[in-house]
Amino acid sequence: MDPLLSMSINESQIIQRSQNKDAPQLDAGATSLYVATHLMDSPSYYGLTVTSDVYGFSIQENERSGILVQINNFGYGTDPSQDGISLGWHVYPALYGDSKTHFFVSWTRDNYQKTGCYNLQCPGYVPEANVSIVPGVAIEEVSDPNGAKRAMIFKVFKVDNSGDWLVHIGLDSEPNLVGRFPKSLFTNLAEEGNNIRLGGFVITRETQLAPMGSGFLCNSTKAASFSNIQLINQNGQTSKVVQNQPTFASDNNTYSVSPISIEGKFTYGGPLLQ
């Protein structure tokens, strides 16, 4: 079971930096998971569209850094099922054998206990025919914190006729259909989502913190961003996301996230100040 996926689906399980001053000194190779995200809860979510800067950096083989665009359904009442779909970009040397930035997807219907995987490692996500943006593909050109930005547009929504969740992606362009998560994969998410998570994550060695986003904290002018955040309703219509959504940061002094602005934008990242 992947530790990031199983913990990122439920913020109460996130590993946070220990505040215990008497804790033993960390092993130089030990890693911890940090997130800096916005959390949205509603009885019904049918999709969203959002734009993210894309970054790249060299990290160690046991480290990982990227973003999550995640739609979940945590069940209702005593229903224990936790369905989720995730897409984003990440740098993950242990998975790909390099420090390039890659587009990824994942899914589960039981909080990654027995179902789900990254990309095309198991049956689940279905790519469209003859598309260039497939799960695992490397994104060769990325943003420069001091210069030009590379934008990746994510659009995922549930369609009525099939019940599938369609995935549209654009790189510096309008998003096109690249694949789908079939309705048959899920239990509650087959009908709707009830939770959305947007933000950054990093699995890093504590002795030398890896970058999240652009590598700069959210209040820096060089910080990475999510922008043009819009929800998609059951009829395919878009609406602005409500401001003042809850945030969750494992350690806001190390990796931080800003509020969502009236324009539907927030910044995130770390650990650098300026």
Q: What is the pLDDT along the chain (274 residues), one digit of tens a residue?
A: 454 555 444 443 333 332 333 333 444 567 899 999 999 999 899 999 999 999 999 999 999 999 999 999 988 766 666 899 999 999 999 999 999 999 999 999 988 888 999 999 999 999 999 999 999 999 999 999 999 999 999 999 999 889 999 999 999 999 999 999 999 999 999 999 999 999 999 999 888 899 999 999 999 999 999 999 999 999 999 999 987 788 999 998 999 999 999 999 999 999 987 6
CA distance 93 to 62: 7
Please give the distance of CA 200 from its chain centroid, rounded to a whole number.
6
Per-domain residue ranges of the chain: 30-269
What fold characterizes domain 30-269? Jelly Rolls (2.60.120)
Q: Which residues contact 218 (CB under 8 A, 6 or more apart)?
A: 36, 256, 257, 258, 266, 267, 268, 269, 270
Task: Report the length, in residues, of the chain.
Answer: 274
